[in-house]
Amino acid sequence: MNRILGALTASLLIAGAPASAADFYAGKNISILVGAGAGGSYDVYARTLANHIGKHIPGAPTMVVKIAGGVGGGVATAIQMEHAAPRDGLTIGIVQQTNVTSQITETEVAGKYDVTKWQWIGNMAPLRNMLGVWHTAPAQTLEDAKKIETIIGATGRNSPTYTVPAALNQLIGTKYKIVLGYNGTADLNLAMERGEIQGRGANWISVVIAAPQYIAEKKFKPLVVDGLTRDPTLPDVPTLLELAQGENEKAAVRLISASGQFARAFFFPPGVPADRVAILRKAFDETMQDKDFLAEAQKLKMEIEPTDGASLDKTAREIIASPASAVTLAKQLIGSN
C-alpha cells in the first residue's frame, strides 16, 4: 500500500509541475537578452521570436527584447547569463555562436561560463558565417589578399567577425589586418561606408536582412563561408573547410565551424526549474511551426531551420569534449591567446 501511495504521489507531482509553471508565467514579463548590437540579425531574430512565442506559453507572458551589445563578441552577455541572470525562468539569452567554442579555444574565456550547463531552449536556424569586402577594397579576391593588406572590422576576438579572417591568415597566408571594437554588424556597415574598414565578417543573412542594397548595388562581395557546407544562396563561394589541407587542419576547422549550429540559439542560465524549461522548449517548438511566425520570417527573408533544445544540449557537450589536438590547432588558426 505504501508503494502504491508513493507512486501515486510522485505521479501527481509530475503531472502538476507544468500547471504550476503555467500559473507562474501568467501576467509576467520574459526578457530576451541579446548579446549583439541593435539592428543586426541577432536582434531581428530575437524580436521576431518575441512577437510570436508568448501566445504559446501558458499564461501568455509579455516578451521584452533587451540589447546588451556585441563588443567583444558578446562574451559579456554569456558571463552575465551564467552568473547574474535570475534563475526563475524570466530571462532568456541569445549570444554569438562562437561563445560555445570559445569556452575551449580562448584562454581569457575559459572557466567564466559553461555551455554544457546552460539549459538550451532551441535554435531558429544554423548559420554559416562569411568574410566579405567592400567594393572599393584593394583586395577583391583571396589571392589578392595574400599580397595586399586589407583592413577588416570585427566586434571582438570571440566573434566570427574576427575568427574567420584570423583563420584565413593562418590557413592560406592572407594579409588581413583586423581592427576590433565595433558594436555589431550595423556598426561595421557604417564603418565600411565611411571608409574606416574595407570588409567585415559575420553571417550572410545579416547582409540580406539589414543591408539588401549592398547586394542589389553590388557594393559587398563575399569571399569565403565558414560552414560545414557551402551556403545554398552562395553556391560559388568556397568554405573555410575547403581551404584546409590535411586531416589535422580539417578537424580544427570543423571545430571552429561547429559553432554555427548555435547561430540563433536561445537558452536559460543554469538552475532554472525543469518544468519551466520544458514549457519554454515546447513553446519554442510550437512557434517554429506557427503560420504567422513563418509568414513574418519569410517577409523578413529570415532562414528558419529549427533545432530543439535537447539536440543543442547534446551538441554543446560534444564540442566541449573535442580532442585536445583539434582544440590546439583551432586555437592557432584563430589566433587565440
Sheet of 265-268: strand order equals 62-67, 29-35, 91-95, 265-268, 119-123, 307-308
Q: Is 326 exposed, middle or buried (0-12, 13-18, 19+ CB in 10 A)?
A: buried
CA distances 107 to 102, 263, 335, Å, are 8, 22, 11
Percent of the chain exceeding pLDDT 90 equals 67
Q: Name which of 8-12, 101-105, 240-244, 247-251 the model is least confident about.
A: 8-12
The number of domains in the chain is 2
* Domain CATH code at residue 218: 3.40.190.10
**Same domain for 146 and 45:** no
**Same domain for 153 and 39:** no
The cell 546588451 sits on which residue? 68
**Same domain for 163 and 67:** no
* Domain CATH code at residue 92: 3.40.190.150
Residue 245 C-beta-side C-alpha neighbours within 13 Å: 5
Q: Report yes or no: 106 and 156 within 8 Å, Cβ to Cβ.
A: no
**Same domain for 119 and 134:** no
**Same domain for 220 and 173:** yes
**Same domain for 286 and 254:** no
Q: Name which of 42-56, 101-115, 292-306 the model is least confident about.
A: 101-115
Q: Report yes or no: 192 and 161 within 8 Å, Cβ to Cβ.
A: no
Is 330 domain-assigned? no
Query: Which of 234, 258, 282 is where one domain is finished?
Result: 258
Query: Which of 216, 236, 258 is where one domain is finished?
Result: 258
The cell 583592413 sits on which residue? 151
pLDDT of residue 51: 98
Q: Report yes or no: 156 and 72 within 8 Å, Cβ to Cβ.
A: yes
Query: Which of 227, 258, 289 is where one domain is finished?
Result: 258
pLDDT tens string 16-69 = 444 566 689 999 999 999 999 898 889 999 999 999 999 999 999 999 999 998
**Same domain for 173 and 149:** yes
Residue 36 structural domain:
2-126+262-324
**Same domain for 242 and 205:** yes
Residue 337, pLDDT above cutoff 80: no
Is 171 domain-assigned? yes
Is 183 domain-assigned? yes
Phi-psi region of 195 (alpha: psi -120 to 50; beta: other; left: phi over 0): left
pLDDT tens string 178-198 = 999 999 899 999 999 999 999
More confident residue, 139 or 301: 139
**Same domain for 23 and 111:** yes
Dist CA 287 CA 281 (whole Å): 10
**Same domain for 60 and 117:** yes
What phi and psi values does residue 62 have, to the nearest 5 degrees?
Answer: -85, 135
**Same domain for 144 and 107:** no
pLDDT tens string 309-324 = 999 999 999 889 888 9
Q: What is the pTM of this model?
A: 0.73
- Pairing between strand 176-179 and 150-153? parallel
